[in-house]
Amino acid sequence: MAGLELLSDQGYRVDGRRAGELRKIQARMGVFAQADGSAYIEQGNTKALAVVYGPHEIRGSRARALPDRALVNCQYSSATFSTGERKRRPHGDRKSCEMGLQLRQTFEAAILTQLHPRSQIDIYVQVLQADGGTYAACVNAATLAVLDAGVPMRDFVCACSAGFVDSTALADLSHVEEAAGGPQLALALLPASGQIALLEMDARLHEDHLESVLEAAARAARDVHTLLDRVVRQHVREASVLLGD
Amino acid sequence: MLKSKTFLKKTRAGGVMKIVREHYLRDDIGCGAPGCAACDGAHEGPVLEPQPLDPASSLCPRPHYLLPDTNVLLHQIDVLEDPAIRNVIVLQTVLQEVRNRSAPVYKRIRDVTNNQEKHFYTFTNEHHRETYVEQEQGENANDRNDRAIRVAAKWYNEHLKKISAENHLQVIFITNDKKNKEKAIEEGIPAFTCEEYVKSLTANPELIDRLACLSEEGNEIESGRIIFSEHLPLSKLQQGIKSGTYLQGTFRASRENYLEATVWVHGDTEDDKEIILQGLKNLNRAVHEDIVAVELLPKNQWVAPSSVVLHDEGQNEDDVEKEEERERILKTAANEKMLKPTGRVVGIIKRNWRPYCGMLSKSDIKESRRHLFTPADRRIPRIRIETRQASALEGRRIIVAIDGWPRNSRYPNGHFVKNLGDVGDKETETEVLLLEHDVPHQPFSQAVLSFLPKMPWSITEKDMKNREDLRHLCVCSVDPPGCTDIDDALHCRELENGNLEVGVHIADVSHFIRPGNALDQESARRGTTVYLCEKRIDMVPELLSSNLCSLRCNVDRLAFSCIWEMNHNAEILKVRFTKSAINSKASLTYAEAQMRIDSAAMNDEITTSLRGLNKLAKILKKRRIEKGALTLSSPEVRFHMDSETHDPIDLQTKELRETNSMVEEFMLLANISVAKKIHEEFSEHALLRKHPAPPPSNYEILVKAAKSKNLEIKTDTAKSLADSLDRADSPTFPYLNTLLRILATRCMMQAVYFCSGMDNDFHHYGLASPIYTHFTSPIRRYADIIVHRLLAVAIGADCTYPELTDKHKLADLCKNLNFRHKMAQYAQRASVAFHTQIPSLKIEDTVFHIFDKVKVKIMLDSSNLQHQKIRMSLVEPQIPGISISADTPNMDIDEPERKKKKREK
């Protein structure tokens, strides 16, 4: 049996996208009233929910407080029903710890933490359905939630994954494409300045190809930015109408 | 632009899993027809012709495109590949189904699609908004796909109407499925079966022969008697193999006896790995190289391999009774003691059919359109084909493909593919030889040629980067006469400190062939240049092989140099590698070089350089032989060609001069030095060459032969073998030693390329070197190009690329190279064999050497046109049953020239 053809000769991927195209993105801000900020995002079939509390006083041990900036605390979890096979994922397993750390790194680079010394900002992200690119969806959802909370940031953080198949870089991999086992790169970008907040890849990829894959991921991240920007503007417009402004 | 649509899928992998996949439908997929305003700007790749007028079909006189369904593509690919068929729309649905069902057909259809002249367009219908079809309740996948194809065909017809109402462009749906065709016509789609359409092409009647005959009606004339038992379905076979009732193996038909075959059971390390099959019914329609499932017969039915030679000569197809009689003969001839596991084929797991070369045996009935085809390979059964051009094809080499083998037919059914030319014609025979050995020999495509440097070419500043200018050195090349692809040149000079500097300069092919481009891929596929008697099948285009890369004299050429500093005892003091530019001062032949060395009158720079090289080579050779390198001998034959007709007029065994071994010695030294260097730098992915030591059993024949002359051959190590071969000499028979060496060559294993990361035994047995590679002939071997690239990276003269450092890719490449080298060797031998049979050849002068005094009769046996051979019959000493009497008149053998040969000693 022949395996799945990830990229056809005509340049179409398994789900009908072209190499550089994103999946359909839909997002909403302010989904929860209790939290300071919240957002929900769908990137194709990957769905994530992000909630932000803070900045507030340090909870728990006061020793964790940083004298010059705010502490960013990130927690990641995924729902038992998020994947094809139902599986309980206890809190604090390796994968979610790692993801939490990556998110923390990403947002420490974006949030103006020095404005809130000795305080704490909590970001909780949950993946409701996983279909590839969970890290990217988490970052994008968290960005919207942080914006919703009104925490000052340098810029949006927009993330996207990219892979490499048949000497072509593919943007925004779906689960099928990830499972095929090729190299996969995750990029979080500050689009205005073009600075990279996080770049992660744990497969072998030849140096010569890195540039093209990185370029594809950056372009996709910029596309994500346009979409998120539209969502934020729409949300602000709606909010201002509600306020009767 | 995007419309998303999700659909659900259920698969069973242990448990039930629900898979949700997105499926985007697009509205920017072009229809492929030029001038279509609706899909303007969406065209990509090769497109259809705007006015597809030919081929003129009597069924549909209007211009039209074709839209075949999956089965047509799978079975009638031979027709579709014909240049007469153009403007075909291949649907994505069809392509995917083909991909899942037959990899070879998929590859062929992709090749056709890539050919611009064929105007094949792949339409991504599954992602088109208007042609996507969802599977309905109660509809199976096949029906859905059929419906999807019909929907696409309908869409196309309506779409084309919109763009050009006056043109009456049509899309014609080709299907062989009756129901599908009926439904299509109901829906208003013009539909025909493949047969109807091809028959309507009045301008191309020869296409009909290429149709695969699959229709059931095709067998009605048959007696209807079922000869073979049914093949079991695959699921049952797999069950049986799992439980051990059936065995899976490769079917290998016997060359000598068409009623017998063996099956090699893969995998398990059992003793009875080979199973014998005997009799037509037990062979049960398996063809050579198929993967089959066999069932072992009870022990009382086991047989021994028969010693009878049986060829399928019957013209009549109904003589099954006779067949049975023959089988009985086989059985009675069996020896009770030699019984081997015997089985019968119960099912075919995978067919490995390919197109076969051979000849038509015309039917006795003059008007008959059904004829039998006899393949050149004796292991392939005869194939029944239907053709109207039988008289035109008679006496020609043709290619035929098998379509199927029904249960009630004695022979498989097939169809005619291609006519190669007259039997015995040199070009036809060469073509057959190349096809049968799977040697890629088509002319280089435009895509490949586009990567050649533009002429006129000269060395530029850019080329000289990372390159040393050695044009002042006195370099010369020594090659056989008439050689145009000179890939090595040498120099030797005395340094100020009294030491010698020796340089081997190899053509820098990797400078011209850049990794990954079409030229590189084509060379990698060819793997090696194939030298036939009158023809050379180049690995790289001629511009490179005979001009830009060839180190001809008095022109500037790029080279890769390996330079040693040696003392006068040929001990290496220093070695360095560099890319260089050289200017060869002389292109010599072996004889010319030898003459220069020998003649005392010559004292110019070239000659002194040659003398220096020769002196060092002798020391190197001596040292190598001391280490246990074998000097085996396999006399190579060389043909003298008539300069006008290119017919061989004489043959001669190659002469070996001192200069031959001089060049060889330095090539070996360069290869070994390079092998060490690249292995040092790339321990995981260096491309090396090894020669495994043969198992002792291989030597039995050699030891036995020597014993008959009271000589002893020791075979425990290469060194002792070499020594004992040296000692094996008979004062009365000086040629004996050479004979023994020829025999020893036969005992050896094949040397192979391998990737250093995938193996840990690097030893080269024949050369007694711990490490070896090929570096010195990049014009004619692809392995050398890879080695050049590795070495260039190692010395920092070139940059690396991903495939070079991927050991799995390298291992795959090695596999292909080894296969190509083997095939090239076989093709070369077959070519020599063919030419030695040309009747005009004089063989009186050839000397035959033998172990014992015998008298033989030599004749050319051409009773079988496809298998002409030189037959030797023993005349003296008289051995009953084997020898023939000296004056037997050979009435029945058609013999153009009869010669008797007597040879004393």
Q: Indicate whether B597 pLDDT > 70.
A: yes
Q: Determine the residue among B1, B7, B24, B517 to mutate to test chain A binding: the one whose Cβ has the most chain A Cβ atoms within 10 Å.
A: B24
Cβ-defined contact of A23 to B44 (cutoff 8 Å): no
Least confident of A108-122, B338-352, B770-784: B338-352
pLDDT at A224: 96
Residue B640 pLDDT class (50, 70, 90 cuts)? low
pLDDT at B425: 76
Q: Determine the residue among A1, A7, A8 to mutate to test chain B binding: the one whose Cβ has the most chain B Cβ atoms within 10 Å.
A: A8
pLDDT at A216: 94
- Where would I find the beta strands (DSSP E) of chain A? 25-29, 37-43, 46-57, 71-78, 119-129, 158-165, 168-171, 184-190, 195-201
Cβ-defined contact of A176 to B21 (cutoff 8 Å): yes
Neighbouring C-alpha atoms within 13 Å toward the C-beta of B512: 31
Nearest chain B residue (CA) to A207: B802
Distance from the Cα of A98 to chain B's closest Cα (Å) equals 27
Strand order in the sheet with B869-876: B869-876, B855-861, B898-902
**Of B718 and B547, the one with more pLDDT:** B547
pLDDT at A194: 92
Other Cβ atoms less than 10 A from the Cβ of B617: the count is 24
Residue B842 pLDDT class (50, 70, 90 cuts)? very low
Q: What is the largest CA-CA distance in chain A?
A: 63
Nearest chain A residue (CA) to B24: A16
pLDDT at B360: 82
Nearest chain A residue (CA) to B32: A10
Average the pLDDT over B757-768 and give the result: 83
Q: Which of the listed ranges B439-448, B608-617, B803-812, B848-857 does the model predict with the highest average pLDDT? A: B608-617
Residue A170 pLDDT class (50, 70, 90 cuts)? very high
pLDDT at B151: 92
**Of A123 and B722, the one with more pLDDT:** A123
Q: Indicate whether B222 pLDDT > 80.
A: no
Residues of A with CB under 8 A from a CB of B: 1-2, 5, 8-12, 14-17, 21, 23-24, 44-45, 84-85, 131, 174, 176, 206, 208-209
Q: Indicate whether B843 pLDDT > 50.
A: no
Q: Indicate whether A213 pLDDT > 90.
A: yes
In whole angstroms, what is the distance from residue B119 CA to residue B749 CA?
48
Count chain A–chain B contacts defined by CB atoms under 8 A.
Answer: 65
pLDDT at B333: 53
A208: chain B residues, CB-CB within 8 Å: 801-802
pLDDT at A48: 96
Q: Which helix (H) or strand (E) holds B105?
A: helix B103-114
Q: What is the pLDDT of residues B255-285, one digit of tens each?
A: 777 788 888 876 655 555 778 888 888 888 8
Q: Which helix (H) or strand (E) holds B476?
A: strand B475-479
Residue A139 pLDDT class (50, 70, 90 cuts)? very high
Residue B742 pLDDT class (50, 70, 90 cuts)? confident
Three-state SS for B73? Answer: helix
Residue A36 pLDDT class (50, 70, 90 cuts)? very high
Least confident of B87-91, B213-217, B382-386, B584-588: B213-217
Residue B839 pLDDT class (50, 70, 90 cuts)? very low
Q: Determine the residue among A4, A6, A12 to mutate to test chain B binding: the one whose Cβ has the most chain B Cβ atoms within 10 Å.
A: A12
Distance from the Cα of B245 to chain A's closest Cα (Å) equals 25
B132: chain A residues, CB-CB within 8 Å: none
Cβ-defined contact of A23 to B801 (cutoff 8 Å): no
B4: chain A residues, CB-CB within 8 Å: 23-24, 44
Q: Indicate whether B899 pLDDT > 80.
A: no
Output the six-digit token pair for B291. 């993967």
pLDDT at B675: 92
Q: Across the interface, which of A12, A84, A208 has its CB nearest the CB of B124?
A: A12
pLDDT at B276: 84
Nearest chain B residue (CA) to A205: B802
Average the pLDDT over B803-818 and give the result: 86
Note the helical H segments in A173-243: 175-179, 207-242
pLDDT at A100: 94
pLDDT at A150: 93
Q: Across the interface, which of A8, A21, A45 has its CB nearest the CB of B6?
A: A45
Other Cβ atoms less than 10 A from the Cβ of B643: the count is 7
B19: chain A residues, CB-CB within 8 Å: 84
Output the six-digit token pair for B508. 């820098």
Q: What is residue A131's DSSP assignment?
A: S
**Of B722 and A165, the one with more pLDDT:** A165
Cβ-defined contact of A2 to B100 (cutoff 8 Å): yes
CA B341 vs CA B15, B277, B303, B898: distances in Å: 42, 9, 7, 45
pLDDT at B799: 80
Average the pLDDT over B700-711 and give the result: 76
pLDDT at B311: 65
Residue B889 pLDDT class (50, 70, 90 cuts)? very low
pLDDT at B787: 92
Least confident of A25-34, A222-231, B332-341, B784-793: B332-341
Q: Across the interface, which of A2, A9, A15 has its CB nearest the CB of B22?
A: A15
B305 near B366, Cβ under 8 Å? no
Least confident of B339-348, B546-555, B833-842: B833-842
B550 near B508, Cβ under 8 Å? no
In whole angstroms, what is the distance from residue B897 CA to residue B160 CA?
68
| End-to-end Cα spacing for chain B | 88
ipTM reported for the complex, 2 dp? 0.90
The letter for the amino acid at A74 is: C
pLDDT at B870: 60
In whole angstroms, what is the distance from residue A111 CA to residue A102 CA?
14
Cβ-defined contact of A131 to B22 (cutoff 8 Å): yes
Nearest chain B residue (CA) to A3: B100
pLDDT at B495: 87
Q: Is the dihedral of CA B184, B186, B191, B195 positive or negative?
A: positive
Average the pLDDT over B204-229 and give the result: 63
Q: Indicate whether A140 pLDDT > 90.
A: yes
Cβ-defined contact of B124 to A10 (cutoff 8 Å): yes
In whole angstroms, what is the distance from residue B523 CA to residue B527 CA?
6
pLDDT at A217: 95
B22: chain A residues, CB-CB within 8 Å: 15, 23-24, 44-45, 131, 174
Average the pLDDT over B648-663 and give the result: 68
Distance from the Cα of A121 to chain B's closest Cα (Å) equals 36
pLDDT at B314: 54
pLDDT at B54: 59
Q: Indicate whether B97 pLDDT > 80.
A: yes
**Residue A170: alpha-carbon gap to chain centroid:** 17
B194 near B76, Cβ under 8 Å? yes
Q: Mean pLDDT across chain B, nearest whole number?
A: 78
B257 near B310, Cβ under 8 Å? yes
Q: Indicate whether A199 pLDDT > 60.
A: yes
Cβ-defined contact of B801 to A209 (cutoff 8 Å): no
Nearest chain B residue (CA) to A85: B17
In whole angstroms, what is the distance from residue B121 CA to residue B156 CA?
13
B24: chain A residues, CB-CB within 8 Å: 15-17, 24
Average the pLDDT over A101-129 and give the result: 94
Q: What share of chain A has pLDDT > 70, as a percent?
A: 98
Distance from the Cα of B793 to chain A's closest Cα (Å) equals 15
Cβ-defined contact of B22 to A174 (cutoff 8 Å): yes
Note the helical H segments in B353-425: 390-393
In whole angstroms, what is the distance from residue B814 CA to residue B821 CA?
10
Q: For the whole model, what pTM was predicted?
A: 0.66
Q: Indicate whether B898 pLDDT > 50.
A: no
pLDDT at B759: 79
| End-to-end Cα spacing for chain A | 63
B266 near B249, Cβ under 8 Å? yes
Residue with tokens 């539209």: A230
Cβ-defined contact of B24 to A17 (cutoff 8 Å): yes
Q: Determine the residue among B98, B127, B131 to mutate to test chain A binding: the one whose Cβ has the most chain A Cβ atoms within 10 Å.
A: B127
Cβ-defined contact of A16 to B45 (cutoff 8 Å): no
Residue B45 pLDDT class (50, 70, 90 cuts)? low
B122: chain A residues, CB-CB within 8 Å: 8-10
Neighbouring C-alpha atoms within 13 Å toward the C-beta of A19: 18
pLDDT at A50: 97
Residue A122 pLDDT class (50, 70, 90 cuts)? very high
CA B53 vs CA B86, B89, B166, B895: distances in Å: 10, 16, 15, 54
Q: Across the interface, which of A11, A23, A208 has its CB nearest the CB of B22?
A: A23
In whole angstroms, what is the distance from residue B201 CA to residue B217 CA?
22
Q: Indicate whether A128 pLDDT > 90.
A: yes
B2: chain A residues, CB-CB within 8 Å: 17, 21, 24
Cβ-defined contact of B124 to A15 (cutoff 8 Å): no
Q: Indicate whether A29 pLDDT > 80.
A: yes
pLDDT at B5: 60
Residues of B with CB under 8 A from a CB of A: 2, 4, 6, 17-26, 44-45, 92, 96, 99-100, 103, 106, 110, 113, 122, 124, 126-127, 801-802, 805
